[in-house]
Amino acid sequence: MYRLTCVNCGESYRPDEIIYTCRSCGHLLAVEYDLDSITVQREVWNHRPLSVWRYRELLPVTIPPVTLHEGGTPLYHLERIGKEIGLPHLYAKHEGMNPTGSFKDRGMTVGVSMALQLGKTTVACASTGNTSASLAAYAAKAGIPAVVLLPAGKVALGKVAQALMHGAKVISIRGNFDRALEMTQELCLSHGLYLLNSINPFRLEGQKTIGFEAVDQLGEVPDRLVLPVGNAGNISAVHKGLSELLALGFIDRLPMMTGIQAAGSSPVVRAIRQGLPEVVPERSPETIATAIRIGAPVNAEKALAAIRKTGGTAEMVTDEEILAMQRDLARKEGIGVEPASAASVAGVRKLTEAGVIDRTERVVCVVTGHLLKDPETVIRQCEAPTEIDADLRSLLSVLQSS
């Protein structure tokens, strides 16, 4: 049992209403469960496979879900990088191991299931890439059409390839992500398409399971959870989920929620540093980490609260720091992630060096998307393969010279 509640004025709405923001005050909505009616025991969860649907009692879907087997992603101990940074308990939850290669699949299995549950027949989103790839795949699985709006020229190749191949109607706009989202919202409200950006509170319900899994895999609540922040949905979702576990008595404290942004696209960091009640949008955000190239994060209100309530923080990292950590993760840990994902670990390095993160902390970084999402940025950083004649002498000579 649940309803939709405004995070600002507390107004509540029936769960079957198609509504994305509060009619009274325009603020964000959240799914609010009647926690007294949730009687599941943790033991029951522990006996199910690690996945989004392990936690189904805390999800809004009542029909058989549209699923591609999302979640159950690995939690890696970053031994080498942790040693270098001086943080022995550093972990990465590799969300790139989801069906379409990013954490968005957790949101889409729930979001597209909700679209069907609510009787909607077409879904839409604006995207920096991963949302469109995921929506396209889940719409394909559900057998319904999807429309996706992308900022022209600013989406990594692998993500566009996925959206196209899974059969979405892919539209590139001559504008940035923030404008694409405004247009998608207008389209959905005026023409009845179902909006599956992270302003949709049901999508965040799926994403909150990252935190549930991290706790289950670590066997305890991490001291700190670190996420890259773009539209600020994921950090909000993980905080909301863990707050529910706390209210249910399944855990006894919350991790310090910590958000990392790219230096050229850092409205949340500035709001936290300056103690502002809300973010000041950036007009022209810019970063190599195109997934988080967002100047007006729609979930900022929830994210600021999550960071402040848990004693967390927000930090920015340069594109150089992001790329250096992308290479370190790949070469020292065997973990292939896209640039935005490396931002979380790069931020941890910076915060540890600055003494903000204590070296005894157990820190879980969420690395959000797979290396293959953005092959162009990878290739640009690496030496080209050495081409030789097809004989052993040439092979040996090139090996000796390197």
Ligand X SMILES: Cc1ncc(COP(=O)(O)O)c(C=O)c1O
HSE of 93, CA atoms in CB hemisphere, 13 A: 31
- Interaction partner, residue 11 (Zn ion, ligand X, none; CB < 5-8 Å by kind): Zn ion
Q: CA distances (Å), 252 to each of 109, 165, 222, 287, 397, in order?
A: 29, 45, 11, 38, 61
Q: How far is the CB of 204 from Zn ion (least distance, A)?
A: 17
Q: Of 50 and 204, which CB lies nearer to ligand X in the complex structure?
A: 204
Question: Interface with ligand X includes 340 (CB under 6 A)?
Answer: yes
CA-closest candidate to residue 139, choices 207, 66, 49, 55: 66
Q: Of 7 and 227, which CB lies nearer to Zn ion in the complex structure?
A: 7
The SS3 of residue 401 is helix
Q: How many Å apart are CA 331 and CA 159, to the nearest integer?
A: 23
Q: How many Å apart are CA 27 and CA 4, to the nearest integer?
A: 12
Q: How far is the CB of 304 from ligand X (least distance, A)?
A: 13
Q: How far is the CB of 388 from ligand X (least distance, A)?
A: 36
Question: Interface with ligand X includes 67 (CB under 6 A)?
Answer: no
Backbone angles phi, psi at 49, to 5 degrees: -60, 150
Q: Of 116 and 235, which CB lies nearer to ligand X in the complex structure?
A: 235
The SS3 of residue 367 is strand
Q: How many Å apart are CA 263 and CA 127, to the nearest integer?
A: 20
Strands 146-151 and 169-173: parallel
- Interaction partner, residue 24 (ligand X, Zn ion, none; CB < 5-8 Å by kind): Zn ion
Q: Rule CB under 6 A: which of 365-394 touch ligand X?
A: 368-369
* Stretch of 8-16, 30-38, 101-109, 215-223 lying at the interface with Zn ion (CB under 5 A): 8-16
Q: Are 293 and 286 in contact (CB under 8 A)?
A: yes
Which residues are within 8 A (CB) of 155 and not within 5 positions of it... i.e. 6 or more apart? Answer: 127, 128, 129, 132, 172, 290
* Stretch of 27-35, 153-161, 178-186, 261-269 lying at the interface with Zn ion (CB under 5 A): 27-35
- Interaction partner, residue 22 (Zn ion, ligand X, none; CB < 5-8 Å by kind): Zn ion
Q: Rule CB under 6 A: which of 240-299 touch ligand X?
A: 291-292
* Stretch of 128-136, 161-169, 217-225, 312-320 lying at the interface with ligand X (CB under 6 A): 128-136
DSSP state of 27: -
Question: Interface with Zn ion includes 388 (CB under 5 A)?
Answer: no
Q: Are 220 and 251 in contact (CB under 8 A)?
A: no
The CA R_g of the chain, rounded to the nearest whole Å, is 21
Binding test (CB under 5 A) with Zn ion, winner from 2, 5, 6, 107: 6
Binding-site size for ligand X (CB under 6 A) equals 19
Q: Of 27 and 169, which CB lies nearer to Zn ion in the complex structure?
A: 27
The amino acid occupying position 143 is G
- Interaction partner, residue 25 (ligand X, Zn ion, none; CB < 5-8 Å by kind): Zn ion
Q: Rule CB under 6 A: which of 212-241 touch ligand X?
A: 228-234
Question: Interface with Zn ion includes 9 (CB under 5 A)?
Answer: yes
Q: Of 15 and 233, which CB lies nearer to ligand X in the complex structure?
A: 233
CA-closest candidate to residue 287, choices 315, 313, 322: 322
Q: Pattern of binders to Zn ion over 195-214, x per CB under 5 A?
A: --------------------
Tokens of 164: 């196209």
Question: Interface with Zn ion includes 121 (CB under 5 A)?
Answer: no
DSSP state of 53: G
Q: Of 24 and 41, which CB lies nearer to Zn ion in the complex structure?
A: 24
Q: Rule CB under 6 A: which of 188-217 touch ligand X?
A: 198
Question: Interface with ligand X includes 128 (CB under 6 A)?
Answer: yes
Backbone angles phi, psi at 116, to 5 degrees: -65, -45
- Kindly list the residues in this chain that would bind Zn ion in the complex (CB under 5 A): 6, 8-9, 11, 22, 24-25, 27
Per CB under 6 A, residues contacting ligand X are 102, 128, 130-131, 198, 228-234, 291-292, 338, 340-341, 368-369
